[in-house]
Amino acid sequence: MSGQGPQRRLLGSLNGTSPATPHFELAANQTGPRCLEVSIPDGLFLSLGLVSVVENVLVVAAIAKNRNLHSPMYYFIGCLAVSDLLVSVSNVLETAVMLLVAAGALAAQAAVVQQLDDIIDVLICGSMVSSLCFLGAIAVDRYLSIFYALRYHSIVTLQRAWRAISAIWVASVLSSTLFIAYYNHTAVLLCLVSFFVAMLVLMAVLYVHMLARACQHARGIARLHKRQHFIPQGFGLKGAATLTILLGIFFLCWGPFFLHLSLVVLCPQHPICGCVFQNFNLFLTLIICNSIIDPFIYAFRSQELRKTLQEVVL
Cα distance between residue 139 and residue 33, in whole Å: 43
The proportion of the chain whose per-residue pLDDT surpasses 70, expressed as a percent, equals 78
Is the predicted pLDDT of residue 75 greater than 90, yes or no?
yes
DSSP 17-70: S--SS-EEEEEE-SSS-EEEEEE--HHHHHHHHHHHHHHHHHHHHHHHH-GGG-
The proportion of the chain whose per-residue pLDDT surpasses 90, expressed as a percent, equals 11
Question: Does the CA dihedral 275-278-282-285 come out positive or negative?
Answer: positive
In a domain, residue 23? The reply is: no
Q: Which domain holds residue 241?
A: 40-226+234-313
**Range ranked top by mean pLDDT from 2-6, 251-255, 293-297:** 251-255
At 243, the pLDDT band (50, 70, 90 cuts) reads low
In a domain, residue 5? The reply is: no
Asked if residues 40 and 22 have their Cβ atoms less than 8 Å apart, the reply is: yes
At 18, the pLDDT band (50, 70, 90 cuts) reads very low
Average pLDDT on 222-247 reads 59
In a domain, residue 33? The reply is: no
Predicted local confidence at residue 160, as pLDDT:
93
In a domain, residue 3? The reply is: no
- The DSSP call for residue 229 is S
Predicted local confidence at residue 263, as pLDDT:
86
Pick the residue with more confidence: 103 or 127? 127
In a domain, residue 49? The reply is: yes
Predicted local confidence at residue 238, as pLDDT:
60
- Between helix 42-65 and helix 280-301 the angle, nearest 10°, is 30
Report how far Cα 58 is from the mean position of its chain's Cα atoms: 17
3-state secondary structure 114-129: HHHHHHHHHHHHHHHH
Is the predicted pLDDT of residue 225 greater than 70, yes or no?
no
Average pLDDT on 194-222 reads 80
Is the predicted pLDDT of residue 82 greater than 90, yes or no?
yes
Is the predicted pLDDT of residue 197 greater than 70, yes or no?
yes
Cα distance between residue 171 and residue 177, in whole Å: 10
Cα distance between residue 45 and residue 106, in whole Å: 19
Cα distance between residue 190 and residue 54, in whole Å: 34
In a domain, residue 51? The reply is: yes
Q: What is the CATH number of the domain that holds 285?
A: 1.20.1070.10
| Range name among 64-68, 118-122, 265-269 with the lowest pLDDT average | 118-122
Cα distance between residue 12 and residue 91, in whole Å: 11
One-letter amino acid identity for 174? L
Predicted local confidence at residue 76, as pLDDT:
92
Pick the residue with more confidence: 106 or 38? 38
**Is the pTM for the entire model greater than 0.85?**
no
Predicted local confidence at residue 13, as pLDDT:
34
Residue 265 Cα distances to 8, 187, 191, angstroms: 13, 9, 11
Average pLDDT on 274-302 reads 81
Please tell me whether residue 77 adopts helix, strand or coil conformation.
helix
* Span 142-192, pLDDT tens digits: 889 888 888 999 999 999 999 999 999 999 999 888 888 887 788 888 888
* Average pLDDT value over all residues in the chain: 77
Domains in the chain, number = 1
Is the predicted pLDDT of residue 254 greater than 50, yes or no?
yes
